[in-house]
């Protein structure tokens, strides 16, 4: 996948079937692009302020790992 080319991702639903709704795929692609740009900006800002690159990347990974699914069925 090219840098930032989220349109090539084959999204699957809970049953493992491909998501085919064009509007859903457009929104996912757009949202991921925005998220990538925000993460890129945060990385660049931190590096310019003297932070260690690997630490910033670790924090970004932890941020993603800490996201909560509010729709999870328990």
Q: What is the pLDDT of residues 24-63, one digit of tens each?
A: 999 999 999 999 999 999 999 999 999 999 999 999 999 9
Model pLDDT, residue 4: 64
* Confidence grade of residue 22 (pLDDT, cut at 50, 70, 90): very high
Residues 17, 3: contact at Cβ < 8 Å? Answer: no
Nearest alpha carbon to residue 60 among 33, 45, 42? 42
For the entire predicted model, the pTM comes to 0.81
């Amino acid at each position: 996948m090219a840098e930032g080319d989220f349109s090539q991702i084959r999204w699957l639903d809970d049953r493992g079937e491909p998501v085919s709704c064009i509007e859903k795929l457009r929104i996912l692609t757009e949202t991921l692009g925005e998220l990538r740009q925000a993460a890129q900006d945060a990385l660049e800002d931190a590096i310019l302020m003297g932070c260690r690159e690997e630490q910033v990347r670790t924090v970004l990974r932890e941020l993603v790992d800490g996201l909560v699914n509010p729709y999870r069925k328990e």
